[in-house]
């Protein structure tokens, strides 16, 4: 078997789809700080897989939110992001997925997730998803 076929076989074995991503690892922590504070978290080393080619996509995920009763424990967020490394998922799907998982766990007053990916084929992509409680 050629090396290329071995690589393709390996990638198929480890590659997951977006249903693989679970919010169970996210750990909310009680927030006792001032009201109206905006928190910004930046992950400049985010990686997922292109569902078409299986090649890695590299980007920066920025999360901005105004907490109500909970904030996110950062180590749990890092482990959450690690799940995407073997997941074939489009940028346009992963951004609202992250937003919905964080919204579900934190119940913030407002939250925005911005995903900015490095250029592929000369095209860069930026996807933004937002939520504001009523």
Q: In degrees to the nearest 10, what's the CA dihedral of 30, 32, 34, 37?
A: -20
Cα separations (Å) of 38 from 13, 14, 82, 93?
41, 37, 25, 25
Delimit the domains of the chain by residue range. 3-132
Q: Which fold has domain 3-132?
A: GTP Cyclohydrolase I, domain 2 (3.30.1130)
Each residue of 23-42: pLDDT tens digit? 999 999 999 999 999 999 99
* pLDDT of residue 2 exceeding 70: no
Ramachandran area for residue 113 (φ above 0: left; ψ -120 to 50: alpha; else beta): beta
* pLDDT of residue 5 exceeding 80: no
Give the number of other CB atoms < 10 A from CB of residue 7.
11
> Would residue 1 show up in a list of annotated catalytic residues for this protein?
no
Each residue of 14-27: pLDDT tens digit? 565 566 789 999 99
Mean pLDDT of all residues in 117-127: 93
- What confidence tier does 121 reach under pLDDT thresholds 50, 70, 90? confident
> Would residue 50 show up in a list of annotated catalytic residues for this protein?
yes
User: CA 61, 8, 93: angle at the middle one, nearest 5?
Assistant: 30
Each residue of 59-116: pLDDT tens digit? 999 999 999 999 999 999 999 999 999 898 999 999 999 999 999 999 999 999 999 9
Q: Looking at 11, 39, 41, 50, which residue is catalytic?
A: 50
Q: Looking at 25, 26, 48, 57, which residue is catalytic?
A: 57
Of 49, 68, 71, give the one whose Cα is nearest residue 59.
Answer: 49
* pLDDT of residue 1 exceeding 60: no
């Amino acid at each position: 078997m050629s090396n290329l076929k071995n690589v393709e076989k390996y990638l198929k074995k480890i590659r997951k789809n977006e249903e693989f991503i679970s919010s169970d690892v996210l750990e909310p922590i009680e927030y006792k700080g001032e009201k109206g504070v905006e928190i910004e978290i930046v992950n400049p080393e985010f990686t997922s897989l292109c569902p078409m080619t299986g090649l890695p996509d590299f980007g920066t995920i920025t999360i901005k939110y105004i907490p109500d009763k909970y904030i996110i424990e950062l180590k749990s967020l890092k482990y959450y992001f690690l799940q995407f490394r073997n997941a074939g998922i489009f940028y346009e799907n992963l951004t609202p997925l992250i937003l919905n998982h964080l919204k579900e766990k934190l119940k913030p007053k407002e939250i925005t997730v911005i995903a900015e990916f490095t250029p592929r084929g000369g095209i860069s992509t930026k996807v933004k998803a937002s939520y504001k409680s009523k």
